[in-house]
Every structure is written in C-alpha cells, then in structure tokens.
Amino acid sequence: MNKRGAGVAFCAISAFLFFAKYLFKVALYALEHGNFMIMVERDFLAINLTLNIFNALSVIALIIGGVYLISAEVEEKKKR
C-alpha cells in the first residue's frame, strides 16, 4: 500500500471513530433514559470516559493520515 492509500485509510478510520463516539452516546442515552433499563442500576462513569478515548483516537488517526498524505505529496514533487 502506498502512502496515499495509507493516509486515506487513516482518515477513514478517524471518521469512523468520530461517528462511533456519537453513536455510542445515543446508545448510552437510550440505556440511561429508556424504559427497558429501569430496574438495572449501572455506573456509566467508566463508559462515559471511553468517549474521550474515541475522541483521542480519532484525532490521532487524523493526524497520522494527514502526515502520510503530506509526505506522499512531498515525495511526488521530489520525483519531478
């Protein structure tokens, strides 16, 4: 896989993680406020902290993807 393909893949992973964070928030809201979870007591603090992990990983993947895309463009200019 060349650097452009790797860069695009990392950007796609970043977009997926960014989307997954909000999908996870919707699932948490449904679990906390839905009628089907009235009898179950759960501590969602640990689950809410994982949302920060989704955010951090998506930013890291976006930075890595950007670096790969920029380095591919620099190499292309050096070949010319």
Model confidence pLDDT, tens digit, residues 22-64: 888 777 777 777 655 554 455 556 666 777 888 889 999 999 9
Sign of CA dihedral 38, 39, 45, 49: negative
Note the Cα 40 to chain centre separation in Å: 29
Tell me, what's the pLDDT at 20? 87
Domain that holds residue 51: 3-79
CA-based nearest residue to 71, from 22, 3, 20, 23: 3
Tell me, what's the pLDDT at 47? 66
The model carries a pTM of 0.73
Structural contact between residues 3 and 79, judged by C-beta atoms closer than 8 angstroms: no
Q: How many domains, the chain? A: 1
Cα 56–59–61 angle (5° rounding)?
A: 105
